[in-house]
Amino acid sequence: MAPRSPMIAVVGPRRDASAGELAAAEEAGAGIASAGAVLVCGGLGGVMEAACRGARSEGGTTIGLLPGTERDEANGWVVLALPTGLGEGRNALIVRAADAVVAIGGGFGTLSEIGFALKAGKRVVGLGTWSVDRRDGGDATAAGIVVAANPHEAARLALEAAAATG
Amino acid sequence: MAPRSPMIAVVGPRRDASAGELAAAEEAGAGIASAGAVLVCGGLGGVMEAACRGARSEGGTTIGLLPGTERDEANGWVVLALPTGLGEGRNALIVRAADAVVAIGGGFGTLSEIGFALKAGKRVVGLGTWSVDRRDGGDATAAGIVVAANPHEAARLALEAAAATG
Amino acid sequence: MAPRSPMIAVVGPRRDASAGELAAAEEAGAGIASAGAVLVCGGLGGVMEAACRGARSEGGTTIGLLPGTERDEANGWVVLALPTGLGEGRNALIVRAADAVVAIGGGFGTLSEIGFALKAGKRVVGLGTWSVDRRDGGDATAAGIVVAANPHEAARLALEAAAATG
Amino acid sequence: MAPRSPMIAVVGPRRDASAGELAAAEEAGAGIASAGAVLVCGGLGGVMEAACRGARSEGGTTIGLLPGTERDEANGWVVLALPTGLGEGRNALIVRAADAVVAIGGGFGTLSEIGFALKAGKRVVGLGTWSVDRRDGGDATAAGIVVAANPHEAARLALEAAAATG
């Protein structure tokens, strides 16, 4: 039989990520890989690339679910680059592949991934990402984004959730 | 040549919608149809059904992009029921099909649709839906959900945005 | 309640369709629409456009499930143009939306649609399209493409299958 | 930087595969892995499972793109199990992820994958799979399925095609 490792998604913007967000993504990726989990992401630049670089620094496996049809789209730290041809629709696949999700920074694509993950009942750990609340003052805490204090904690919380559901 | 009408999506939860949200969806659907636009939605119950019922009350065309593979999933007010077999992944299709999006109430699926729409640069008009803000206090207004005061205004704002981009 | 009409897909190549194939597609589209069914297709040129033109000549409803993200991709005879952003992956959607499939001529995309339709247990009516057989001489007739003698018969056989499953 | 290996898809039926087809799939999987390529497949039983078992016997990496949303769907020889939630629509993803495709035996899903691969211009190597021909006697050889004499040759031909396009 094949070994089966937990998979943790790191989602975040390709562009407009701050230096702090990129550093956080790299540290979170390293934490995920050092725990033996597989990193899954959208495979492009920015937060995705930083997370992959971190995971590779620990010898981890990185999967990139690419929006286009060309493997060359992937950043240089993606080990397994899978072109999907689904455009932004591939965001749903990233979430489905993952046992838990770490969201860093906040593009709109990231917001869609948070929505998918919460809908699927998967743990979302946020680092400087979207705060989502019902405008009517409804049960905001039900939104279920767990805010991490730092990248190390983000990786730990995601890994714990993956272990609980695996 | 074929006539080509604007398409407006109404997104919102199937379950847990309040009576006020359902009434708002019905009124928004009616407003969309009375302006000659096509209503596109996820085709199920709750907010989706209410919006379709409203559109049909004005003789409008309603399209339901269903998550499953069976046409019978559709609510009774969907004229064109399209099973997609994509599960929640069909949320991306609803947004892509639409020229503008009206979000009513707030399930997590709705949140994913808001993310997709904003990512695609499409106008999102909200009625008692999610408030999304960058937790870091970043440019919250960039999130671009336009809050409507009532269903009539929601339909009008969506139709204006569709006309501007059509 | 909304009226619910059968949906028949017409699939075939955008490029390299012969004059005879285009004429057949137009006649099949007219036959589908005159029976009150909705035509669903990939929304582009060639066989798709000819089928839509035929359906519109009878005042029918035509749906185009487009591969890209722009409504303007659609041919001029598509009434309801739905950009999917799924590329060739939208071929699966065309089949899922349809009660039966008419395949005319034979591009490779058409071949994928035939495979999907047969897998889903939907009737495929062929006009000068692929002949698919198990190379090992296995149960070739099980492949289940019904060969029509002419476009009129193709539309009739598809409509009968749709009525039987509807 | 991450090493980047070629990816070869093995496609074939979950049910109704003959003992000979399963043995061929296992041998092809072993050949793919022993050359250092990654095996990608639909992740379920039958031909998919046999191919994964073969690849694992050589210590290879196996990716399963699952139709459902549960990782547990995967056969026991899949190392990286990715639930897609796309149903049969995931067939397009298998093809997009691969540099070349080996088709063994012939279910209808396999036929859809052959269509997608040929449409995408990817080499399809067949072992006892579908024979596809234009019914009008058109350019049948253009269909481009290369028939292999045995699993060893199938793996070799796919790897050569992957190397040429990589």
Q: What is the pLDDT of residues B138-148, one digit of tens each?
A: 444 445 789 99
Measure the CA–CA gap between D109 and D122, rounded to whole angstroms.
17
Tell me what ipTM this predicted complex has.
0.92
**Closest Cβ–Cβ partner in D4, D52, D85 for A81:** D4
Q: Which residue has the higher pLDDT, C136 or B40?
A: B40
User: Nearest C-alpha of chain D: how many angstroms from B76?
Assistant: 25
Chain C contact residues (CB < 8 Å to B): 1-4, 7, 38, 40, 52, 56, 61-63, 69, 71, 76-86, 92-93, 96-97, 120
- Cα–Cα nearest to C88, from C61, C63, C62, C107: C107
Alpha-carbon radius of gyration of chain C: 14
Measure the CA–CA gap between B42 and B78, rounded to whole angstroms.
10
- pLDDT of residue A135 exceeding 60, the answer is no
Measure the CA–CA gap between A126 and B105, rounded to whole angstroms.
23
Q: What is the pLDDT of residues A67-87, one digit of tens each?
A: 999 999 999 999 999 999 999
Q: How high is the pLDDT of residue C143?
A: 56
Strands A123-127 vs B38-41: parallel, antiparallel or unpaired:
unpaired
Q: How high is the pLDDT of residue B31?
A: 98
- Digit-by-digit pLDDT tens for chain D (166 residues) are 666 899 999 999 998 899 999 999 999 999 999 999 999 999 999 999 999 999 999 999 999 999 999 999 999 999 999 999 999 999 999 999 999 999 998 788 999 999 999 999 999 999 988 777 765 544 444 457 899 999 999 999 999 999 987 5
Please check whether residue D132 is in contact with residue C132, taking contact to mean a CB–CB distance below 8 angstroms.
yes
Per-residue pLDDT band for A142 (boundaries 50, 70, 90) equals very low
Looking at A129-143, B112-126, C14-28, C116-130, which range is the least confident one?
A: A129-143
Q: What is the DSSP string of C11-63?
A: E--SSS--HHHHHHHHHHHHHHHHTTPEEEE--SSTHHHHHHHHHHHTT--EE
Q: Is the sign of the CA dihedral B123, B128, B129, B133 positive or negative?
A: positive
Size of interface A-C (CB pairs under 8 A): 15
Strands B130-134 vs B145-147: parallel, antiparallel or unpaired:
unpaired
* Amino acid, single-letter form, for residue C138: G
Rounded to 5 degrees, what angle do the CA atoms C159, C162, C163 make?
85
Q: Which residues contact C165 (CB under 8 A, 6 or more apart)?
A: C99, C100, C122, C123
Q: How high is the pLDDT of residue C6?
A: 96
Strands B100-104 vs B80-83: parallel, antiparallel or unpaired:
unpaired
How big is chain A, counted in residues? Answer: 166
Q: How far apart are the first and last CA of chain A?
A: 17
Measure the CA–CA gap between D140 and D152, rounded to whole angstroms.
25
Looking at A3-7, A52-56, C111-115, D74-78, which range is the least confident one?
A: A3-7
Q: How high is the pLDDT of residue A66?
A: 98
- Cα–Cα nearest to B32, from B150, B159, B165: B159
Residues in A touching D3 (Cβ below 8 Å): 79
Residues in B touching C120 (Cβ below 8 Å): 69
A91: Cα separation from own chain's centroid: 10
| Interchain CB distance below 8 Å, C112 and D107 | no
Distance set, CA C9 to CA C146, C159, D68, D148 (Å): 15, 10, 26, 35
Q: Which residues of chain C have pLDDT under 50?
A: 137-142
How big is chain C, counted in residues? Answer: 166
Across residues A57-69, what is the average pLDDT?
Answer: 97
User: Nearest C-alpha of chain A: how many angstroms from C69?
Assistant: 9
What SS3 class is residue A109?
helix
Q: Which residues contact B146 (CB under 8 A, 6 or more apart)?
A: B123, B124, B125, B126, B157
User: Nearest C-alpha of chain B: how many angstroms from C18?
Assistant: 23
User: Nearest C-alpha of chain B: how many angstroms from A13?
Assistant: 11
Chain A contact residues (CB < 8 Å to D): 1-4, 7, 38, 40, 52, 56, 61-63, 69, 71, 76-86, 92-93, 96-97, 120
Q: How high is the pLDDT of residue C3?
A: 64
Alpha helices in chain B (DSSP H): 19-34, 47-57, 90-97, 108-119, 151-165
Distance set, CA B85 to CA A86, A87, B165, C84, D62 (Å): 15, 18, 30, 14, 26
Q: How high is the pLDDT of residue D52?
A: 98
